[in-house]
Amino acid sequence: MTHPLMPKATAVWLVENTALSFEQIADFCGLHSLEVQAIADDEVAIGMQGLDPITAGELTMEEIERCQADPGTRLNPAENRTPVAKKKGARYTPVSKRQDRPDAIAWLIKNYPEMSDAQISKLIGTTKPTINSIRERSHWNIANIKAQNPVALGLCSAENLEKSVAISRARAGTTHAPNRGPKEDGPAPSIPTTPAPKPEPVPTAETVFVEQLPAPQEETLAIEQNTDSDPIAMPAPEEVKE
């Protein structure tokens, strides 16, 4: 037996508005009979606003009247008092764009091979047999299929595509790291540096004065050699005495 969503507030309302016994209220609300009696004696849940179970769809007035007539009976909750959540169906694709789905499937298989069939099916609203036939190139129209971005075809949003790609890469462990360039085995080659040009000396007053002085004339010495003169006799070297 399921109990009310707010058992104490429901018990407060039943104590104040019905002639049900403490045991009947306690059994319906999932409380102890002494706790219900303390609520009736204003010892527990003082000042609490009661919750009408009839308005909440948890109990019917006919059931209350039946149990008031017979204190030995138990309250039965109303049928289908909790709305059943509607299951989310397959993603709807307009008829005009259904013929573009094979192109989008081919694009996803080519660019994101780590994406599972379930993700592709959920992303663009297709079936797994269609995905397998395109992957295995056994599709009836495989010759005319051209890979195209599903975002450009209007079959999904860029946000949903990025989310699906991130999930598939995280599961496959292929998250792309930033490109840091090829790994170098040896030391990096040194770049030859060109020597910096020497700064030209700043002219001073002394250097300017020296440059303005006239250069001294060089005296040319003409040495005349007499080719007819006898050769000069050189003395013989003295013998070294031991």
Structural domain including 18 reads: 7-69
Which of 153, 172, 191 finishes a domain?
172
Residue 62 has a pLDDT of: 92
Q: Is the pLDDT of residue 123 over 70?
A: yes
Q: What is the pLDDT of residues 168-186, one digit of tens each?
A: 989 887 655 444 444 444 4
Whether residue 75 lies inside any domain: the answer is: no
Q: Is the pLDDT of residue 235 over 60?
A: no
61, 18: one domain: yes
As a three-state string, the secondary structure of 159-223 is HHHHHHHHHHHHHHCCCCCCCCCCCCCCCCCCCCCCCCCCCCCCCCHHHHHHHHCCCCCCCCCCC
Whether residue 107 lies inside any domain: the answer is: yes
158, 106: one domain: yes
Domain count, the chain: 2
pLDDT more than 70, % of the chain = 65
pTM score, two decimals?
A: 0.40
